[in-house]
């Protein structure tokens, strides 16, 4: 492990929700919740104002509505999120050739590799400049962690939230990590955390005190060795430049075999939701759903289903995973379950509706008259107006949909540059003067902007 805090971890603050607040002046400083708005939708991201009410990512949307009934509920606009992410990643690549994106809003950077930092002072200066550049280019805030390893840099950025910078000085790592809960360490999920808790291990210090042999006995050789090293603040993982992702998957190993079929089905649904959150976090969609089942006798079965088109719809992935599970006998017990998505594609707006439309078409063929749970494909007269999408009216200009129903759509007319909240008007859903449009940039570009940003090393770089 290096001796200088020159690994940087950037995590944008409540990214999707912050983008929505920046683009909609009437929502600034108010609770905003982004996610699937249907009956089975889940929260993708929520603003800090919404978190006060107990709302958090991965929560069922119905529960979020009960906790924060007056919040703004919006569909994700992944095209906009991806474009802003590209601006942020360009700023990171100006710092170093070694940038390891983890999702649209999170990445590691090796500052030494690009010459942007060589000691604690230069690293802090690079982090300060990066945060200023992100604000100038996107209008958003990000939190920065600086440390001598990836693990500690990520912990530091979490401590820095929101809109801050924390630097962990080499030599202080053990004292910092010691009192933290075991879930702080990478690779310690709910199942491992519960397993350690039952063994009386609650904090990182207690992991170190238990010793490597005990951890290997509890968790197995690979996991035990790795966890013991991290508890001692040893993390030599390098920052790896981005590479093509082949698939996105999640899996859980259970301490006690699951025999209850209903419990197995619920676990598969939960894993499908986690997989979709990871898929969306990477700005991807996929065509092939994969189910992995390791049974009581350690035999491992894999089942897959290829859809008509790429999807990141949690309902579609859940249904496909459930169909795959129907073909697997679990009566002897299940040790491990996993759900994955492959056949990945960059997310496009069309992908949002391709699979849902396909499923409606199938349902119509098999059960005439059954509306199903998916929205009908867009018709020439009755258009779909999801809450949060951008629209333009020939008379009133640019705005966004606040809500729709019973043949009416309500629009607030404002832009990211509006100084005050815009006026609200209601139209027929088939109004010929109203049409969906692409989002506007969050920050207006003016001549000379490209000369104003620093690369964190004292150089000047284009604004991207």
Residues whose CB falls within 8 Å of the CB of residue 215, separated by 6 or more in sequence, listed in order: 207, 223, 224, 225, 227, 228
- Tallying the residues shown for the chain, one arrives at 464
| Strand 247-258, strand 7-12: pairing | unpaired
Q: Crossing angle for the helix pair 349-366 and 314-326, nearest 10 degrees? A: 50
Instruction: State how far the Cα of 354 lies from the Cα of 365, in Å rounded to an integer.
Output: 17
Catalytic site residue from 49, 100, 106, 173: 106
- For residue 457, what is the enclosing H or E element? none
**Interior/surface letters 162-176, b for 16+ CB within 10 angstroms, e for the rest:** eebbbbbebeebeeb
Q: Are 306 and 343 in contact (CB under 8 A)?
A: yes
Spell out the residues 6+ positions from residue 300 whose beta carbon is closer than 8 angstroms to its own: 292, 293, 294, 336
User: Collapsing DSSP states into helix, strand and coil, what is residue 255?
Assistant: strand
Give yes or no: 106 in active site.
yes
Pairing state between β 142-147 and 165-167? parallel
The span from the CA of 37 to the CA of 71, in Å, is 13
Which residues belong to the active site?
Answer: 106
């Amino acid at each position: 492990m290096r001796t200088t805090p020159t690994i940087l971890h950037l995590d944008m603050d409540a990214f999707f929700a912050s983008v929505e607040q920046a683009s909609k002046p009437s929502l600034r400083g108010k609770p905003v919740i982004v996610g699937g708005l249907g009956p089975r939708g889940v929260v993708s991201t929520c603003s800090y104002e919404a978190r006060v009410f107990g709302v958090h990512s991965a929560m069922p949307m119905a529960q979020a509505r009960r906790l924060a009934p007056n919040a703004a509920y919006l569909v994700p606009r992944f095209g906009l999120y991806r474009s802003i992410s590209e601006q942020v990643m360009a700023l990171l690549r100006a710092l170093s050739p070694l940038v390891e994106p983890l999702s649209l809003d999170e990445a590691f950077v090796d500052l030494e590799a690009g010459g942007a930092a060589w000691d604690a002072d230069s690293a802090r200066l690079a982090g300060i400049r990066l945060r200023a550049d992100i604000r100038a280019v996107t209008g958003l805030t990000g939190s920065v962690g600086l440390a001598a390893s990836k693990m500690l840099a990520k912990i530091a950025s979490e401590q820095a939230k929101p809109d801050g910078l924390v630097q962990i000085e080499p030599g202080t790592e053990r004292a910092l990590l010691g009192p933290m809960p075991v879930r702080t360490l990478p690779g310690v999920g709910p199942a491992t955390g519960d397993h350690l808790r039952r063994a009386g291990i609650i904090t990182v210090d207690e992991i170190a005190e238990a010793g490597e042999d005990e951890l290997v006995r509890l968790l197995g050789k690979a996991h035990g060795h790795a966890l013991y090293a991290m508890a001692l603040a040893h993390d030599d993982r390098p920052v790896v430049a981005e590479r093509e992702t082949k698939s996105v998957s999640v899996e859980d190993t259970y301490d006690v075999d699951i025999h209850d079929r209903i419990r197995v089905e619920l676990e598969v649904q939960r894993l499908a939701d986690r997989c979709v959150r990871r898929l969306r976090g990477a700005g991807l969609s996929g065509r092939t759903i994969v189910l992995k089942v390791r049974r009581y006798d350690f035999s491992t079965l894999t089942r897959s289903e290829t859809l008509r088109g790429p999807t990141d719809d949690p309902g579609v992935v859940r249904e496909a995973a459930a169909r795959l599970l129907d073909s697997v006998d679990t009566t002897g017990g299940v040790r491990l379950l996993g759900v994955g998505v492959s056949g990945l594609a960059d997310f496009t707006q069309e992908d949002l509706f391709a699979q849902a439309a396909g499923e409606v078409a199938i349902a119509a063929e098999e059960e005439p008259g059954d509306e199903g749970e998916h929205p009908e494909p867009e018709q020439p007269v009755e258009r779909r107006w999801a809450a949060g999408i951008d629209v333009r009216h020939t008379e009133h200009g640019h705005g966004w949909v606040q809500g729709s129903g019973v043949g009416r759509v309500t629009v607030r007319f404002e832009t990211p540059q509006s100084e005050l909240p815009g006026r609200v008007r209601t139209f027929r859903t088939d109004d010929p003067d109203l049409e969906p449009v692409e989002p506007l940039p969050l920050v207006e570009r003016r001549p000379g902007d490209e000369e104003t940003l620093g690369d964190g090393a004292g150089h000047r770089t284009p604004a991207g």
